[in-house]
Chains A and B, each alone.
Chain A
């Protein structure tokens, strides 16, 4: 959480651009990563991330603190944006369209090509998981959010999140190692 977040939120609700700008700067990479790992396409991820923050800014006056972190609200908007993009199918994500260029921003210092290969494979595996499994995997392991924060953004109890986390991780490993779950074949890179 950003320092003085509640004050920034209060100001942003009143239309203070500077305050919302600080929230934007802090949460943009998190929301971008969340979306990028779900859609596996840089352009699509940028468009949806923009939509999320645009919607957040437009609806900032209506934001109510319900005891969950501000990030929970943003993740909820992001989740709906991704679902909407699937529904409208305006940009169907094709695994074959994503390449290693998507990972050019990752710091590779000290990493060998095997790590790159593994990351690429995981990146392509995550979108094959159920939506709630994807959410928990990204929020918990990529963003390092607490179970409470994840529960807040997904509208579930912390216990349910722990259970989903366990199952999601197991399914991700199965898909990664065997490339097969419920008859789905994962194409090797």
Chain B
């Protein structure tokens, strides 16, 4: 059996919030972002970053293609001497060849100098022999005079 108190409490069920409050509150809440939503400017910021990255990437690709293309043109179409500095393989070969040339020229130098020294030594030894012969002749003449 429902008591008088319970009947009175049920009457509070007719209490309603102010209509103006309801409309203001509803509008404010529904125009607010939920937790976890990206802020309004986030998409724009992401787009700007993506745009910059894409531009940077395209420039890098463009430079790569230009260098690659020039290298190809240089290797295949134009004289190898022209723009040879752009071909790293050619440069490497040149460096290796240069090293070999240096080594060969050094070997040649050592060979030439050895020959020169040999000739000089031979010449020197010839002079000594002549001087020895002269000494012997002088000794013979002196022996003849004294006897």
A residues in contact (CB < 8 Å) with B: 15, 17, 20-21, 24-25, 28-29, 32-33, 36-37, 42, 45-46, 49-50, 53-54, 57-62, 103, 105-107, 115, 118-119, 122-123, 137-138, 141-144, 169, 172-173, 176
A143–B28 CA distance with the chains assembled, in angstroms: 26
Contacts A142-B12, A169-B6 aside, 11 further interface pairs with beta carbons under 8 A come to: A45-B17, A46-B18, A50-B25, A105-B15, A106-B12, A107-B14, A115-B8, A118-B8, A141-B9, A142-B13, A172-B5
B76 part of interface (Cβ distance < 8 Å): no
B37 part of interface (Cβ distance < 8 Å): yes
Look across to chain B and name the residue whose beta carbon is closest to the beta carbon of A18: B30
Smallest beta-carbon distance A111→chain B, Å: 8
Inter-subunit contact B14/A105 (CB<8 Å)? yes
B residues in contact (CB < 8 Å) with A: 3, 5-6, 8-18, 21-22, 25-26, 28-30, 32, 34-37
- B18: chain A residues within 8 A (beta carbon): 42, 46, 105
A24, A119, A137, A142: the one within 8 Å of B26 (CB): A24
B11, B15, B36: the one within 8 Å of A29 (CB): B15
Inter-subunit contact A122/B9 (CB<8 Å)? yes
A48–B28 CA distance with the chains assembled, in angstroms: 14
A20, A46, A107, A173: the one within 8 Å of B21 (CB): A46
Main secondary structure of the interface of A (DSSP, over half): helix
A28, A58, A137, A142: the one within 8 Å of B35 (CB): A58
A189–B36 CA distance with the chains assembled, in angstroms: 49
17 A-B contacts, Cβ less than 8 Å apart? A21-B30, A24-B30, A28-B22, A32-B17, A46-B25, A50-B29, A57-B32, A58-B34, A59-B35, A61-B34, A106-B12, A107-B14, A118-B8, A119-B8, A123-B12, A141-B6, A142-B10
Best-buried of B9, B26, B32, B35 by chain A (most CB within 10 Å): B9
Inter-subunit contact B25/A49 (CB<8 Å)? yes
B14, B25, B26, B36: the one within 8 Å of A61 (CB): B36
The 8 lowest CB-CB distance pairs between A and B, nearest first, are A141-B9, A32-B17, A50-B25, A17-B30, A142-B12, A33-B15, A46-B21, A58-B35
Inter-subunit contact A29/B8 (CB<8 Å)? no
- B35: chain A residues within 8 A (beta carbon): 58-59, 61-62
A115–B8 CA distance with the chains assembled, in angstroms: 8
Inter-subunit contact A60/B5 (CB<8 Å)? no
- B29: chain A residues within 8 A (beta carbon): 20, 24, 50, 53-54, 57
- B12: chain A residues within 8 A (beta carbon): 33, 37, 106, 119, 122-123, 138, 142
B5, B16, B34: the one within 8 Å of A15 (CB): B34
